[in-house]
Structure 1
Amino acid sequence: MLVRLVSGLALINCLALAAGNPLLQDDGDEELTFIRDKRSSDVCKYSKGDWSTCNPLTKLETRQDRVRAGSSAADCPQTRTITRNCNKDKSLKPNSFKKGLCVYAKARDVDWSDCQNGVRQKLLKLLSSKPDAGCPNVKVISKKCKNKKAKKFLMMGSARLSNDDKSDKNVKKEKKRERKEKKAEKQKRKQEKKENKISEKCDFGNWSEFSACTNNKKSRSRQITRGGDLKICRKEATQIQQC
């Protein structure tokens, strides 16, 4: 029983870390990267390089990342290569490179390789090309490996945050409903007070028939038998409606 209790507390701590710990980071690319503590000796950390210009043959941009010597294991590769489609660069105009020079196999038809040095790859074979285009025989797509453990903790943390968000939404919804009810009650009291004031100070005759529509409006009036010198009575003696 004690072991289960300790395990449960450990899981709660893990969820809290996953929700707010900077050790679990998303660097802005598609994949999540699990960054361990600097005391770990079996991790490779990299400083991101700049994206290259768009290659008109492969329609890819390439980024060369360099290892952080002080924060990585000694056997980490000195560089890693990451690619992305040119259309992810919003600064490029559509059709800014020629289409159809090199035709490669569809990426969705090719499986990712196993993770090597923190990178997965897809090797797309050249299917056809324009004469003298100089197309590479293989188009290499590279991305960082997903870390299932990191993703699992992030999902668990997100689920917990989601439940908290739902609770907050319910509280806000209840407060909004209460404000709406208070406003309606206030308007009701105001209307009752106005009607009481009118009944105390004003008397009227019967309403006339509505006039013909003018500018999509019609009106009717009634004679003031008491309180004709009061603004509130004069106001209540005329009624205007939309046609």
Structure 2
Amino acid sequence: MKWLLLSTLAVLLALAIAEGEVWEEDDHEVLIRSERGAKNQECRYAKGAWTECDSKTNQRSRMLTLKKGNATNCEPTKTMQKKCKKACRYEKGAWAECNPQGQMTRTDKIKAGSDSSCEQKREITKKCKTKMAKPTKGKKAARRNRN
């Protein structure tokens, strides 16, 4: 999970640098520099709330409003967009016995507070692990008997 977050941040940073802007974000504001290290061209923006997810584009957006910076160098507002993450959380059920086809299934039920567009139940199927027969005398036992 950490590698996914770090790689996403690296991609976003690379895109911002490629466009000639460097973005830094904390809990309260977004700092945008027009060139890396250019302190005199900083634009600080207050973050608005995220919109609801647009089901057609699977994206949501937030408005950034200029908080501090030169009005000639900084845009008065900017829009950030990101993909929506479907919030489907499930309570895992118990695995059933293996069927004749060598598969087992479990049924998971949706947890309270999940997205209303999520399925109420989901069924997971996987192959059963085959148990290997234990040898009657292993190599260690044979060596012990020789000594």
TM bucket (normalised to shorter chain) is 0.3 to 0.5
TM-score normalised by length of structure 2: 0.36
- Report which of the two has the higher share of strand: 2
TM-score normalised by length of structure 1: 0.24
Q: Which has the larger radius of gyration?
A: 1
